[in-house]
Structures are given as C-alpha cells and as structure tokens.
Amino acid sequence: MQSNTRPDQQHFVAPLDETPLVAIDSVKAEGKPSNLWTDAWNDVRKRPMFWISSVLILLVVVVALFPGWFTQTPPNNDCLLANSNGGPTDGHPLGFTKQGCDIYSRIIHGTSTSLAVGIIVTSLVAILGVVFGAFAGFYGGWLDAVLSRLGDIFFSIPYILAAVVIMSVLSGYRNVWVISLAIGLFAWPATARVLRAEILRVKNADFVMASTALGVSRFRILLRHVLPNSIAPVIVITTISLASAIVAEATLSFLGVGLPTNIMSWGNDISQAQTSLRTAPQTLILPSIALSVTVLSFIMLGEVVRDALDPKARAQR
Amino acid sequence: MAGYILRRLLQAIPVLLGTTFLIYFMVFAMPGDPIVALFGDKTPPPSVIESLRERYHLDQPFIVQYFIFLGNIFRGDLGVSFSGQPVSEILMATFPVTLRLAAMAVFFEMVAGITIGLVSGLRKGGIFDASALVVSLILISLPIFVLAFVMQWFFGIYLGWFRTTVGPGAPTQDLILPAIVLATISFAQIVRLTRASVIETGGQDFVRTAASKGLSRNRIVPVHILRNSLIPVVTYLAVDFGTLMVGATVTEGIFNVPGVGRTLYQAIIRGEGPTVVSFVTIMVLIYLVVNLLVDLLYAVLDPRIRYAK
Amino acid sequence: MKIKRIGVAAIALAAAGALALSGCTSGGADPSAPAGDATAVITTNGSEPQNPLIPTNTNEVGGGKILDAIFAGLVYYDAKGAAHNDVAESIETDDAQNYTITLKADQTFSDGSPVTANSFVDAWNYGADTANEQLSQYFFESIEGFSYDESVPELPGLEVVDDTTFTVALKQPESDFPLRLGYSAFYPLPEGALDDPAAFGENPVGNGPYMLDGEGAWKHNEKIDLVINPDYDGPRKAVNGGLSIIFYASQDAAYADLQGGNLDVLDAIPDSALETFEDEFADRSVTQAAAIFQSFTIPARLPHFSGEEGNLRRQAISLAINREEITDVIFAGTRTPAHDFTSPVIDGYSEEIPGSEVLEYNPDEAKKLWAEADAIAPWDGTFKIAYNADGGHQAWVDAVSNGLKNTLGIDASGDPYPTFAEARTKITDRTIQTAFRSGWQADYPALFNFLGPLYGTGAGSNDGDYSNPEVDTLLKEGLAETDIAAANEKFQAAQEILFQDLPVVPLWYSTVNGAWSELVNDVEFGWNSVPLYYQITKSE
C-alpha cells in the first residue's frame, strides 16, 4: 500500500499504516459485502464442534425418518412377558423392557415422536417467546404492559391443568402436533421475559442510537441490530428446553393425557421404566442416553451458532 | 419511579381477572363429573348427585359459577374444599412451606449455577467448561423422579445425613434435600445462561477499556463482567421461582412436603374449582410482585435501563 | 367399597390393599405378655381424609383407617374376617329380616357421654336420610322405609326399645346383615354430634380403642395423632401408647421413611419396591391375600359382545390372558390369579366352581373360540381397555393387551383417561364404548357383597348392565338363607352362571403388602388390609 501522506506533512502520531488499527478499520472493498449471517457461516464451518453436532443431528433425523433402516424388530408387537427386563440376546442388542418389548427397537421407533415433539415445542416456544419478548422489550410502554401481563397469565396456569384440558377436549386428535401445542402454549413466557430483559439492555447501546440517528426505521433497528445482539440467551434456553419438552411429553403420557400407547416415544418408555428403577435400571437408562445424546448435539450446535453470532467473541479468537 | 410501580400494581387487576376466569373455565372444561367421582366405584342415586351439585353450585352455568366465586372472594370467602376444609386454611398451611422450599431451591441454583457459569465463561473451552457441560447435561436428561429417588436413598438412607422425608412442621433442615433436587432442574439453564452472558460481556468495549486502564482482574470480574451478565440470569431465576411455586408436584410427593404442588395437583385431579383458582390467584400475585422486583433490579444492574418515561 | 386412589404425577401407585392372611397368630395379641412399652406411640402411613371424619360420610381408606381406630361398632372383624361382638351384647334374629340388638351396659364415648341405643339409631337415621347426602348412604338401603328419592328423617325400620336395646326391620330377609355391622358406616355417634357435623368431623369423639390427642390433633395434610382411650374396655384394647398416622401423597415416600427409620408400620408397598421389599425386610414383611377382586368389564352393549358371538369372544379373551405370568412379572407375585368372582379371604370361597377353567391360560382354545366367533360375524377394530391414569393401572393393562395381541392376533391397547372422575363419569352415564377396568373391595366379609351389588339386575355397581334372571333368583335365595353354608351354595351356583356369561373378566385378587420396623412386634393385618394396630407392641 502506498503512503497517502504528502512528503511535507507533519506527523504527531504514527502513520495510520503503521498502527494495528489499520487492520481493524480497513475495509475489504474487493470482497462481497459482509453481513452478520455470512460472517457467522464462514466462522462456524471452520469449527469441528459444528460438524460433530451436525452429523449427530443428521443421524438422529435419519433414524427418525427411516427407522426401518436400523431395525427389523417391531417395537410394539411380539412383546413377551417371558422376556421381561431381560438382558441382551441375539437380535435384541439392548435387551427388553418390563413388558418384554425390544428396547433397541423401541428407541429407534421412538425417535421420530420425541424429536418431533422436541423440535415443534422448541420452535413454538422460540417463536412466541421472541415475538412477545422482542416487541415488549423494544417498544416498551403500553405494548410492554399488555404483552408482559399476557405472558404472566399464561405462565401462572398450572401446565398439568392446561394439558389435561387441551388433551381431553381434543381427545380425538391426540397426535404429535396437539401434544406439542399443549406443552408449548404455556412454556413461552420464560423465553419472552429473558429476551425482553436482554433487549432492554441492548436497546440503549451506542450502535442503536447511531442507527436511530441515521434515520433507520425502528422496526429495522429491532430486526437488524437489536435482536441479533440479544438472541444469545434465547439460544441457550431453547436448546436446553428441547430436553425439557421431550421429558414433558413423558409426564403427560404418564398422566394419561399423552399420545396413544401405540405411538412410541422415549419419554413414554422412561416414565414406564420408573417402577423398575431398583431392579432393572437399564430400561430407564438406555432411552435416557438416547435423549441425552440428542440434546447434547443440539446444545453443541446452539453453542457454535451463539458464538458465531457474537462478533466480539469471534474477534477475540 | 413511583408512578411506574403504581402502574404496574394497577395492571395486576386485569391480570387477576383474566387468570381466574381462564382457570375457572379450564376446571369447568375438565371432562368428568367430580361429584360422581366422590362415590368411588359406586354409582350414587341421582337425587343425591343433584343436591350435591347444587351445594357446590355445579348445576349453574359456568359464568354464574364464576361470578358466585368472584363475589365470595370479595367478601373474603374462598370457599371450602370437598373435604370441608376452608380453602383459606389450606392456603395458609401450604404456601409458607412451598415458599421456603422454592426460595431455598432458587438460592442453591443461584450460588452453584452462577459460580460455575462464571468460571466456565471465563475459561471458555477449558476442561472445567467441558465438565460443567457434561454434568449439567446429565442432570437435565435425568427425569426428576430418578434424581429425587437417588438423592433420597443416598443422603437419606445410606448416609443418613438428612431425614428421608420432610417431618412434621416441615423444618428447614428437612427441606434442604428436596430443594437441592429442585435446584438441579434449572441448574443447567443457569450455568449455560451465565456462561453465555459472561462470554458476551467479556468481549464488550467497557471490559477492554477497564483492562487497558490497568484494573485488576479481581475488580473487573465482579464489577464489570458479572454485574453486566446478570440480567438474563436474574430474569430466569425469577421465572423459575414462579415455576417452583406450582411445579414441584413430583418432588413434593417423593419427599412428602405438605406444600402447594401436591395439594394443587390433587385439587386439579378432583376438579375442585375454588381450591384450584384460589391457589393460582395467589401464585399470580407472587409472580407479579417478583417480576416487578426483577424489572426494578434491571435498573440497578444496568443504569441505562430506565422505566419512568 | 372404600376408594383408595393416590395420584401424584410420576409416582405409580398400587391399588389398595390388604388383607387377611393365612396362618400367623390367631386373632388378637396375647395381652398377658406385652413385649413392648405400653406408652410407645406407633407411627404408620395413611392419607389425608377426603371428607370430614363422620362415619356415614367416609368412603375412602384414608378416613376409614382413622375411624376404625377411634370408633367401636356393634361388631369388629378379626384378622380372618370373622365378626365378633364389640359394643353389642347380642344380635338376634329368627327370620334374617327382623333383628334385636342389645348393647353391653355402661359403655361410654371418650367425652364421657353414654353409648346408648339412640347413639346408633340416630347416627343411622342421619346417614340414611337422602337430605344429608351421605357418601355411605347405600349401606342403609335394605332397612325398612329407606328411600333414595325422598327425605326420611326417621326410618320406620329402626326402633329404640330401651337404653341398650333396639330393633331393626329389613325390607327382605338378608342373613349377612349382622356381618355388615362392623363397617364404619354403622358406628354410633354421641348425642349432639350431628348438630354441627362439620365441627364434629374435624374433632370427632368416638368410643373406640383410641381417641384424638386433643383439639386439633388432625393436622391437615400432615398427620393425625391418636392416644389411648382409657374408657374403652372392649376386645380391641390397645397394648401400645397411641397411633400417629402420617399422611403421604405417595407410597414411595412412605417406603423411604420406613427404610429411613421414621415409620414403624407400612401397609402399602410402592410398585418400585414390590420385587425387593421381602428381601429388605425379611421377617418383617407380609404378603397375604386381600378382599379385593380385580377385573375388567365388557358391557353387553358393545358390538360383537352380545349373544352367542359375544359369549365366545368373552371366553376367548379370558382364556388368552396368562394371569399366572402377569401377576408374577408385572406385580412380582403380589397379586394372586383369580379363580372366582370373590376373594380367597371370604368364608365360602372355592377354587373348584364348575366353569372356572375359563380363567386358565389356554391359547389354543382361545384361538379356536375366537375363530368360531369370527364365523358368526367377523371381528374388526381394536379391543381397548379403559382405565384411569391416576391409579397405576397402565402396566397390567399393557400386559393384558399385549397378551391378547399375541394370542388372538388382534389389535389391542389400553385407553387411559387422565382422571378417575372422567373415567367414572363415562362409565356411570354409559357412554363408554370400550371395555373398562373394574374391581371391588369388600365392605364386609361375605360372598354376597362381591356378587349382589355387581351382577344383580339394576344393582348399584352393575356398570356393565348385566342381567340374568337366574342369577337374580339365586342371589336372592342365598341372601334369605339363614344357614351360611346353604347360602354360600346358592352363591356358588350363581357364580357358575357368571362363568358362562363372563359379564366381567376376572383377573386376580390383590394382596396386602406391608413391612415394619425392628421396633415393633405382633404386626398382623386385618381382612380389610388395614393392620390391627391395637395389638401391635413397640419397644423403645
């Protein structure tokens, strides 16, 4: 690079090209215009944790979609009490449940239900939570009052009561969607409140004021600047709540307002295994491991994404 | 500020009306006749069913039942349970116990979660960070009854450090074990939230400024990083406190805590409208106050947040 | 029928349970050799009573256990279910329809007031009067003048002769009437108790071996403390210093307290410990038959389940259930496969009733009968068994369904209802369109109690609307028979018909499972699954 100072110019500070600042402030004019999302993508794809978690999630999704590729044993038929809580045998690598069903097959066939419930509930909670939290926190005033108090009402309804009512009223339609609705409809206020708090903090930041001064519309500021900078806690909460959703489905099954018993799910198996806790803990531990691995891969992915969306954390590396 | 607080308190009125209405409607919409269930596997004569329904106003349309209930509340009468115990008495007996239990659980969550989250965040990617992730993950994927059962067996029966269940009068030392079990549910959330927040705050300009000013690490961490990371954590803790006030059904059952979770669950299952609504009403009040306090706390943690506009 | 339902999310609960045992000591501890400390208080498990403690308004085990301790009825039951006089001096009848009851002299309630004929008659009149909406009202339905439809403040069938004598006239001869009199609904009440039933129900005053430890002894949702009633001088005199009944919402919590040394006697073992408790509490546990019969009902109005086809299908289903294996695996041997429609603890029980082979597992015969039914009209759909999810029934319903699937090759599954109220309402208003769980815990130890209320035409708990005139006649004849053996013959004949019709599919009898600490001795369980607390000794 050519020095852009005239020969006779006096310098009281170091020339710009001699300071580290030049590296930070320089603009790569020849590159594509960068934005938060492409930066994030360029960052995550270099990280092994991203690939490990993605492969795991992909595997879980494939199992969910094509259980037949992984096991030929029917999960719900040929359950013989003679095999109750039995250990592994030929063709039954993980042994049997209390009812004498094949554990491996039940885990494989339960994947789609549990994963679907987890993802639908988490999405529902994330969407409702982000919409309510973002508007309440960013616009404040009466909108905050209305949205926040609405959240308070939903939050204070005991979810057992709500689930019993929803599932009983819709007893003819007990499927994955309805049960996810019953769980998610009363779980979003926590997410909304955390996001609202974060937005209250971020909206006073200098870059928001700068955007306002530049005449950017309020909604655009929320979308482009405030939200990306306050989303981190939401990612943390939602990835973990994936696990809670899968477990909540188990609780509802246990209460008799879950999915019909011919639909397999990890949660269902976990709650049924509890009476064997003292005598055959593997019937409980094995589906729990499936749940843990799935949740772990989502948490890892969430972690990578959260990190990538935080430009300052990225710059530190 | 005073105006803001007043406005928030006034907002409690519509919230209370909305919640009680919704809850009452849900109890009403629950399928099954609670009177029939009172008789067990015996079918009661129709005349008796009728007069019992009359006594509990169950023969009235929903909206009438709701207004009868509301009217009684204004006279300070919360009604009686099917067992003939005044609901107000049940409230007085159970809420203090659950309040203590929830407060202890939140305290444990706070101390352990924030400490571990802070260290994880400051030493991101290290051994400690990874172990904290694994431990919190194991805790979250364990169903609560398993955890409660194992803790009860290990500390209560095997080691004998604690009473296995909560004794008469629910003394505080008996509540320690169930409080720890409850704390583990949200422990993972608090650790991860704190960690994420600490990492984010650690990269902020004011932290770099503080470091370049030559401030010691002992000052930067608590004053600059931690304080500015607490907002989402405190919010979540408040939410969790609310959840624990109702949601401790399983844990209260396993440790035989004479608290809200157990009683409320029974009332829901039995379709006792007045009991359920009264409980939830108190819940909402507690939750509104806690949320107000948290909102005020934001301004302390981050002076840029102001309410009185 | 006492209801025992505990429901706490994620905690499975066994159905009620317990009962008279075989073997063991014969009724009553030996008072001459009290091994324990006569002042030691026994702690035991219970559950919060669901109603005020008024005998005629208590129909569940939580309150029943307390009432049995603080009240003494005309008769009491020993461990084997035999009735002996308690307050009664004599109960006499010539025709099984008109009874003369004489009380022992100088009996008092714990507040000093006398126990007189009026104490019984007034209490019974109160319980029988429709206007008072008492939950145990039906116990009085056979007394002359009783009506469900109009208020009868004083039954013409009850007459006070003098302070210690009264007479009872029934609507028809019922020879097992004296046997019923030990049930809590028939307990006496002190004068004035019914002026303010709510207050009395909070601090009841009785005439039994124990009494409340002062005002407010009932600490709601926590416990109730009972002390010895010094005025009681009957056959159930307590040899310990009192009873502290701790209320548990889950059996797991109670079991943990027994393990942790906070509880002396436990009368219900949680499902999770059924396989292990006998090893853990060797010599200090019991598993004995109970007066509880479990089944599922197939209403006759269901398609495919009436007429010839229905009979074949009912038989096939019964033959396709491997009761032996299910009780062994699912219940760890804590249920006993059924051989009839009653219970082994009841006098007159028999495993040899003709037709009872239908309760043996016989997959080939089951397939054959099912195929024969299919020849009449082909089967379609799923065979479902409804149950309330708050009662711990899922495991056995799933096991039975799996058995039907495997043996008959049909689709079968459980159909859970979230609450007892919902399941019960659908059963009561006859809108349920599936088979459903059913069961019966005896109110009093007699064969008729397992049959009349359940299979008589139009009877109160005949939820499947079964009706067979032959059965009705046999039941009525048996009831009128004053000789117990002759009566039981009639009841067995009725059961023979039931085995052909199978209005319900008998499954198994419950057992009582209990365990106790090292501190207590002489623990014995009564026929109704409740420990005989008065004879337990405790050393400290």
| Residue B121 within a domain | yes
Task: Answer yes or no: is pLDDT of B287 > 60.
Answer: yes
Distances in whole angstroms, Cα of residue B265 to Cα of each of A181, B247, B270: 21, 9, 9
pLDDT at residue C72, rounded to an integer: 93
Mutate to test the interface with C, among B30, B42, B95 (most CBs of C within 10 A): B42
Stretch 103-162 of chain A: residues touching chain B, C-beta under 8 Å: 140-141, 145, 148-149, 152-153, 155-162
Contact B31, A168 (CB under 8 A): yes
pLDDT at residue C209, rounded to an integer: 93
Task: Give me C486's structure tokens.
Answer: 């002759």
Contacts of A169 in chain C (CB under 8 A): none
pLDDT at residue C361, rounded to an integer: 93
Task: Give me C462's structure tokens.
Answer: 């005949």
Sequence-distant (6+) residues with CB within 8 A of B126 are none
Give the CATH number for residue B175.
1.10.3720.10
Q: pLDDT band at C32, cuts 50/70/90? A: very low
Residue pLDDT, tens place only, A258-299: 777 778 888 788 878 877 777 788 888 888 888 888 888 888
Looking at per-residue pLDDT, the higher value among B61 and C101 belongs to: C101
Task: Answer yes or no: is pLDDT of C31 > 50.
Answer: no
Task: Answer yes or no: is pLDDT of C3 > 60.
Answer: no
Cβ of A155 within 8 Å of Cβ of B287? The answer is: yes
- Residue whose entry in the numeric block shows the structure tokens 């960070």: B129
> Residue B91: which of B73, B113, B109, B111 has the closest Cα?
B73
Question: A65-316 maps to which CATH number?
Answer: 1.10.3720.10
Task: Answer yes or no: is pLDDT of C99 > 90.
Answer: yes
d(C-alpha B299, C-alpha B17), whole Å: 29
| Residue B183 within a domain | yes
Concatenate the DSSP letters of all residues of A255-306 into one string: TT-SS-TTS--HHHHHHHGGGGTTT-THHHHHHHHHHHHHHHHHHHHHHHHH
Residue C425 Cα, gap to closest chain A Cα (Å)? 14
The residue-averaged pLDDT of A54-69 equals 88
CA–CA–CA angle B19, B25, B28 (5° rounding): 140
pLDDT at residue C497, rounded to an integer: 93
Which of A152-161, A209-218, A281-290, C341-350 is the most confident on average?
C341-350
Name the 3-class secondary structure at C507: strand
CA–CA–CA angle C450, C455, C458 (5° rounding): 125
d(C-alpha C123, C-alpha C201), whole Å: 13
d(C-alpha C69, C-alpha A13), whole Å: 97
Residue pLDDT, tens place only, C223-274: 899 999 998 988 999 999 899 999 988 888 899 999 988 899 999 888 888 8
pLDDT at residue B184, rounded to an integer: 86
Residue C62 Cα, gap to closest chain A Cα (Å)? 22
| Residue B215 within a domain | yes
Q: For C317, how many CA atoms within 13 A lie in the half-sphere containing its CB?
A: 31
Mutate to test the interface with B, among A24, A107, A149, A156 (most CBs of B within 10 A): A156
Cβ of C250 within 8 Å of Cβ of B40? The answer is: no
**Chain B residue whose CA is closest to A298:** B137
Looking at per-residue pLDDT, the higher value among C502 and B261 belongs to: C502
Residue pLDDT, tens place only, C379-410: 988 999 999 877 778 889 989 998 999 899 89
Interface ipTM: 0.82
Choice among A33-42, C214-223, C308-317 with the minimum mean pLDDT: A33-42
| Residue B304 within a domain | no
d(C-alpha C57, C-alpha B38), whole Å: 10
Cβ of A99 within 8 Å of Cβ of C405? The answer is: no
Stretch 234-273 of chain B: residues touching chain C, C-beta under 8 Å: 249-250, 252-256, 258, 262-263, 265-266, 269-271
**Chain A residue whose CA is closest to C323:** A81
Concatenate the DSSP letters of all residues of chain B into one string: -HHHHHHHHHHHHHHHHHHHHHHHHHHHHSSS-HHHHHTTTSPPPHHHHHHHHHHTTTTS-HHHHHHHHHHHHHTT---B-TTS-BHHHHHHHHHHHHHHHHHHHHHHHHHHHHHHHHHHHHTTTSHHHHHHHHHHHHHHHS-HHHHHHHHIIIIIIIS--S-SS--TT--HHHHHHHHHHHHHHHHHHHHHHHHHHHHHHHTSHHHHHHHHTT--HHHIIIIIIIHHHHHHHHHHHHHHHHHHHHH-HHHHHHTT--SHHHHHHHHHHHT-HHHHHHHHHHHHHHHHHHHHHHHHHHHHH-TT-----
Name the 3-class secondary structure at A68: helix
Cβ of C461 within 8 Å of Cβ of B42? The answer is: yes
Residue A91 Cα, gap to closest chain C Cα (Å)? 19
Q: Which chains touch B (3 or more CB pairs under 8 A)?
A: A, C
Sequence-distant (6+) residues with CB within 8 A of A226 are A134, A138, A199, A202, A203, A208
Name the 3-class secondary structure at C493: helix
| Residue B68 within a domain | no
> Residue C390: which of B157, A287, B78, A252 has the closest Cα?
A252
Sequence-distant (6+) residues with CB within 8 A of B4 are B307, B308
pLDDT at residue A14, rounded to an integer: 54
Residue B64, exposed/middle/buried by CB under 10 A (0-12, 13-18, 19+)?
Answer: exposed
Residue pLDDT, tens place only, A15-48: 555 555 555 555 555 555 566 677 777 777 888 8
Sequence-distant (6+) residues with CB within 8 A of A268 are A110, A249, A250, A253, A258, A259, A261
| Average pLDDT over all residues of chain B | 82
Contacts of A160 in chain B (CB under 8 A): 249, 265, 268
Which amino acid does the sequence have at A240? I
Contact C404, C318 (CB under 8 A): no
d(C-alpha C96, C-alpha C91), whole Å: 11
Taken as a whole, chain B contains a residue count of 309
Tell whether the torsion through CA atoms of C20, C22, C28 and C30 is positive or negative. negative
d(C-alpha B181, C-alpha B52), whole Å: 41
pLDDT at residue B203, rounded to an integer: 72
Contacts of B275 in chain C (CB under 8 A): none
| Average pLDDT over all residues of chain C | 86
Contacts of B38 in chain C (CB under 8 A): 50, 135
Task: Give me C301's structure tokens.
Answer: 């109005």
**Chain B residue whose CA is closest to C138:** B44
pLDDT at residue C24, rounded to an integer: 34
- Residue whose entry in the numeric block shows the structure tokens 């509540």: B175
Choice among A19-33, C355-369, C457-471 with the minimum mean pLDDT: A19-33
Give the residue extent of every domain in chain A.
65-316
pLDDT at residue C473, rounded to an integer: 93
Which amino acid does the sequence have at A102? D
**Chain C residue whose CA is closest to A260:** C415
d(C-alpha B280, C-alpha B19), whole Å: 8
Distances in whole angstroms, Cα of residue C193 to Cα of each of C64, C69, C185, C203, C226: 18, 18, 15, 10, 19
d(C-alpha A234, C-alpha A309), whole Å: 12
| Residue B159 within a domain | yes
Point out the residue among B26, B242, B298 whose CB comes nearest to the CB of A155.
B242
Residue pLDDT, tens place only, A185-214: 888 888 898 899 888 888 877 777 788 888
Strand ranges (DSSP E) for C314-408?
Answer: 335-337, 382-388
Stretch 237-296 of chain A: residues touching chain B, C-beta under 8 Å: 237, 240, 243-244, 247, 250, 270-271, 274, 277, 284, 288, 291-292, 295-296
Contacts of A158 in chain B (CB under 8 A): 246-247, 264, 268, 276, 280
Task: Give me C70's structure tokens.
Answer: 């603080």
Contacts of B165 in chain C (CB under 8 A): 248, 253, 256-257, 260, 262
* pTM of structure: 0.82
Taking phi over 0 as left and psi of -120 to 50 as alpha, with beta for the rest, A244 belongs to: alpha
Cβ of A256 within 8 Å of Cβ of C326? The answer is: no
pLDDT at residue B202, rounded to an integer: 76
Which of A228-237, A244-253, B70-79, C302-311 is the most confident on average?
C302-311
Cβ of C222 within 8 Å of Cβ of B37? The answer is: no
Strand ranges (DSSP E) for C281-381?
Answer: 285-297, 335-337
Residue B132 structural domain? 95-249
Task: Give me C137's structure tokens.
Answer: 């009202």
Cβ of A81 within 8 Å of Cβ of C406? The answer is: no
Q: Which residues of A touch C (CB under 8 A)?
A: 77-82, 84, 98-101, 160, 164, 167-168, 251, 254-257, 260-262, 271-272, 274-279
d(C-alpha A303, C-alpha A300), whole Å: 5
Task: Answer yes or no: is pLDDT of A157 > 60.
Answer: yes
Residue pLDDT, tens place only, A298-311: 888 887 877 777 66
Distances in whole angstroms, Cα of residue B151 to Cα of each of B162, C15, C269, C489: 10, 26, 20, 55
Name the 3-class secondary structure at A157: coil
pLDDT at residue C102, rounded to an integer: 94
| Residue B85 within a domain | no
Mutate to test the interface with B, among C1, C54, C252 (most CBs of B within 10 A): C252
**Chain B residue whose CA is closest to A292:** B141
Total number of domains constituting chain B: 1
d(C-alpha A289, C-alpha A283), whole Å: 11
* Strand partners of residue C76: C84
d(C-alpha B232, C-alpha A126), whole Å: 16
